[in-house]
Amino acid sequence: MKVLGLRLLLVLLCGCCLACGDNTDWASKGPTGEQYPQAELSLGEAVYIDTCSTCHGRNGSGNFGPELVGKGHKYSYDEQRNLVERGRRSMPGFGASLTDAEIDAVVAYIRVGFFDKSAD
């Protein structure tokens, strides 16, 4: 009886974990409504290509790391900036290797630059 109870608990926990998966199509939400200067987006694109594109894909479509297109709707600016600066799980933090201006620029680019045809 004890084994049956443990198996049932395990099945319930697995079901809860699967149900918590994020199947939202963030890319379909488009860019955030935020406005950034073109110079900041250009710097952000350069930093992104140099620092982020290997893992997240050149256009934010994902590779080893997750897709980033549209994630400005999932995370606040401060949450995304914190992820870039400190890292999370297998993603390293870049706070020691990027300046504050570069971090701000790459976060701006991730939030709106993938959708900006002039940034391509």
| Average model confidence (pLDDT) across the chain | 81
Q: Regarding the domain delimited by 31-119, which CATH topology (the fold level of the hierarchy) does it fall under?
A: Cytochrome Bc1 Complex; Chain D, domain 2 (1.10.760)
What is residue 5's predicted lDDT score, i.e. its pLDDT? 52
Select the more confidently predicted residue: 95 or 30.
Answer: 95
Question: Following CA atoms 70, 74, 76, 81 in sequence, which dihedral angle do they give, to the nearest 10 degrees?
Answer: -70
pLDDT digits (tens, 9 = 90+) for 96-110: 999 999 999 999 999
Q: Where are the domains of the chain?
A: 31-119
- The fraction of the chain above a pLDDT of 90, given in percent, is 52
pTM > 0.85: no
- CB pairs under 8 A, 24+ apart, for 26-29? 26/67, 26/69, 26/70, 26/71, 26/73, 26/74, 27/67, 27/69, 27/70, 28/70, 29/70, 29/73
